[in-house]
Structure 1
């Protein structure tokens, strides 16, 4: 009997305040979708960082005097640098690139830009060491130690590129969380207002129930459950929105970056991983707000 009464009251309440209920559902859905989008960006950043750390390299360029006088890296200081790098803790591999290979690589890199390619002359590019790290945490230490060694003229540090890419991802995540915070405040105010209106419109019914012995908690529970049901509907919409965003935004807009393995791909499993947190967040948002509203506003 009690369960059927609660269900009937919840349905009646949602129907009576249908416009406010729809507004609450949509606001909650957008709030949770923005929060879920931020969580997806966090997952993308974490997986992308692993991709970069697995393949990030440093390149140490030799001085012109060393590149020209020792093209095969058989004498000091070139051979000493090569041997020291191979023995360095955290280094996975070291490859010597002579001037001819550097020239061929540059020509291939700029083959679609003939103006630049035509200005590249063999023998003008320096030889170099390309160093791949087994331990990414040793990247900075190795770079700092060798960039000032005799025979080294310059370095190419790919960490700066990684930092710039992740600064964009961090900015996107922070923007999503900031928007979600603003929308959460709007959702809280809307839930509180909806609960107040629902309680006010049924004040006579509640008063009669209290006179016949119903507890305060029992008379207020339908209002609380109405807010929770609306939040659950908003959570379902937000999850559907994230699946749609994966297909129409992440997969399409970032397809080129996925193709060259610059960014990790957002998968359905990532969205499913985020989904329970959206449901929990929606229920907590509505439940806590509804409870506090009833506690401090509806005192009869």
Structure 2
């Protein structure tokens, strides 16, 4: 196949269908931005789960009598609770925190940036507690169930519910982004199919003459397919560049407070780069498949 003929046909196709080509590029770009946003939400979910599962712990708050009379956890029931917890499968550590240490943590760490709240709790008696960490997050419900009614325990608290809510939020964002991406992909599909149809009809006589003089099917159809692929590549690259620009301009400012407080991890350029590569690959494969299918349907001869 002559390269000159190929480029001439591609240029002719773009010139004749410039508005539809631009519409295809823009629709592909928007749908891939939605797809990329969903992928970033997936990455945020995975990062958040890994960060919080490493910090996750169960706290057994002890009743006032134990908190006041056993500051070193050397007497029952605190002593037996610690021994039983250490024997639990998967438990990596059990740490005792006395009442004085709990108050210090609340005033100097938890409410460090809220002096009014820290002042209000100065005269509050904090319960002693046992902090339990395990390698298996599946153990937390069992700990809650088995130890909530043990003597000396007034409450069992876990951060699992908070992590689940946070993960659910990112799952919702992911589902919304993928749903919008699917709708935009449908629009891209229709535009690509229409572009191939219009291009094929505009050059119908030319293609028929070329087939009469012995040109192969691929010789006459490849320009149509390349037009689609070039438009898809352009839309994919623009989508990836938009995602890179959105990170410092939109994503970081929106998530800055949550990232700064350690609630969620930040997104790196590497995360965006991996997502951008996937966006380009998906855009090209999707457009190529739709373009080829449209060619087989509209250009049969």
Superposition TM-score tier, normalisation by shorter sequence: over 0.9
SS of 1:224's partner is helix
In structure 2, the CA distance between the partners of 1:115 and 1:279, relative to structure 1 (3 Å rule), is closer
Distance across 1 between alignment mates of 2:55 and 2:132: 10
Name the structure 2 match of 1:46.
46
Name the structure 2 match of 1:93.
93
For 1:1-300, what aligned pairs fall within 5 Å after superposition? 2-108=2-108, 109-110=110-111, 112=114, 114=116, 117-118=119-120, 121-123=123-125, 125-300=126-301
| Residues 94, 131 of structure 1: 8 Å contact kept | yes
In structure 2, the CA distance between the partners of 1:115 and 1:247, relative to structure 1 (3 Å rule), is closer
Distance across 2 between alignment mates of 1:224 and 1:110: 62
SS of 1:68's partner is helix
1:82-112 superposed Cα distances (whole Å, 9 cap, x missing partner): 2222333322222212222223333344462
Shift of 1:196: 0.7
Shift of 1:39: 0.9
Shift of 1:117: 4.1
Shift of 1:289: 1.3
Distance across 1 between alignment mates of 2:64 and 2:203: 87
| Residues 41, 173 of structure 1: 8 Å contact kept | yes
In structure 1, stretches of 5+ residues that fail to align are none
Q: Would you identify which runs of 4 or more consecutive aligned residues in structure 1 move more than 6 Å?
A: none
After TM superposition, the score normalised by the length of structure 2 is 0.92
| Residues 196, 293 of structure 1: 8 Å contact kept | yes
Distance across 2 between alignment mates of 1:84 and 1:25: 63
Distance across 1 between alignment mates of 2:283 and 2:5: 24
Matched positions, count = 299
Distance across 2 between alignment mates of 1:150 and 1:181: 55
SS of 1:254's partner is helix
